A and B are shown apart, each in its own frame.
Chain A
Amino acid sequence: MERSIIQVQHVTYRYNKESEKPALTDVSFDVYEGEWLAIVGHNGSGKSTLARMLNGLLLPDEGTVTVSGITLSEKTIWDIRKRIGMVFQNPDNQFVGATVRDDVAFGMENIGIPREEMVKRIEWATKIVKMNEFLEREPHHLSGGQKQRVAIAGVLAVQPSIIVLDEATSMLDPIGRREVIETIWSLKEKGLVTVISITHDLEEAAKADRMIVMNGGKKFAEGTPKEVFRLEEELVSIGLDLPFSYKLSKRLLEKGVPLATRHLNVESLVDELWTLKSDN
């Protein structure tokens, strides 16, 4: 987790070149190999712009983005897009193929992978996201969560070193959301990819290794979820909420319940609560 894989340095970007207020102002940070980095922020905080900056869907006005040692420019975007896979918000609007098999193949077809290799990788990638039994299914016969997992498989098949999830779970129901998060988690655990997830779901962000909080196009805070959530009221003041388990443990501590820590996820809070009065 020490080697830096992406370096973002002093990036500024304006959608409208004449406008006063940039969408991103002087943003710098590093992403480390194998980590799960969550980028959170309110609507319009610049987090999605930042995501699009990483694989050259947008090019920075000022500053540089370097991915695996390649500096992003017009000339290198296709190289960089092989290294960064991206999953978007709307499950329907990123499904290109007529069936699951076709869609998983799409990215590989684009970079000219031979057919025999594609067939192998489709099997491998769909197995990882547990969609290998749905290869012939058409998109309108899949749930949102399944479609997002197909999107992940399509990205994996190209074998990138980084996956960017741009609010990939925000349009899903709770079950679909859990499926997708679990899939991503297992990828990260297997050491297959570095994960960058753009989200406004703080419960999701709390599971990440590190967090970056964006506000008004600037980096507001950076650190582990524990460090970031310690900002409490400051986060609330920029329109973010705190995870439910965090708020609950805080209130319990205020009431004098002797909790060891402010919990970032429900499971650990529940664990501590039910063992609180037992001796061992």
Chain B
Amino acid sequence: MNLSFLRVSIWVYLAIFFLYLLGPLVIMSVTAFNSSAFPRMTPWECLTFQWFGELFQDQRILNGIKNSLIIGAGTVVLSVAMGLAGALMLTQIWPKLRATYYTIIIAPILIPGVVLGISTLVFWDRINRMLGLGADSVLSNGIFLTVIGQSTFIASYCMLVLVARLQRYDVALTEAALDLGATHAQAFRKILLPFMRPAIASAAVLAFLASFENYNTTTFTFGEYPTLTIELAQKVRYGITPSISALAFIIVALTVFFALLNEAKLKRQELVAAARKNATVEELAGKIKLPSFFAGNVAAMLVVIFAAATITVVGTATAYSPDQCIANVKEQKQLEADQRIQELRKQREERRKQREADEAEQGETQSAPKPSNNSGFGNVFAPNALSGDEDESNAEPQPSTNGGFGGAFDPNSLKTDE
């Protein structure tokens, strides 16, 4: 009994843990498909793909992605090169200095990104001025500064990954290559580099991801080239639409897809290795065929299911039109709004009548009537108050939000602020 209680509590714990970990992602992904103008899951209005369309029409987001990709590529090249150089140095350096060197090389990871960002900016600005270059020189270019700034600490991550592999390298291999007539450069290129390739690939992926998601260093250095994270942060400041959820969904989906793909590949290698142990080369040619690709490989199956699901969704998205549903919801909202307006009008009419009656009683003591501001919502529900907000091309009357927030979360209400 005690044991089963323990088992149950472990499952409960796991459920809570994964809910905490994945819940926000799931909810955000779901909001990307709700037609509600504010990202929310309830009330569910209509299934829609419009936010994806809006996302890909948003020039700032697209530009941010482009800048992020350029900066990511630059950071990968610079960080992996510096990381490899640092790792090689670590194996060559005098053993007594090794610990000190290691600490110095690792230090940038421990320094806050904000400090790195500011110092990068200040340092290169100084250099720029010393060289007498203008504000439009390469040294003050946002892409250059961001790549340099991010690489200061991403190179350290890369070095850690590369050192781990390098420690398993047998220096005798390089010596053997030299002994067989290779120059140092040839030995490096033909022996060490191929050996390091898997680690270089991991370091490159790591560097790219770290660069792509970086905000706090980039925020000081981006100049005229805002990255995706910068754009998102700025967007959120002015109000959030489900197109951001759509972007988040795409990123989550891509991450899951590549993780599964990698897992499937590893699993396949494992299976091949296992099969190889039990079979000669000739047998193998017949044994490992594509149909048995899935045998015992859950990840591979998931990848295929994932791909099929993507195709289905994209297919549905092109064929499916939520217009009718949206129109229905609009109509419903309109009706509710109309009803509300009618009520308000009625109330106001009653009050006016009452006031007139009062005024008639008091004679002509009051010169001007007070503005009617006693509905509790300001004037937002007055039918005329909304007319200035209309900027959509279709001439349909804008449905008024009937929440209790006076339309504060209606994205359209913010557009006029810009």
A and B form one complex: no
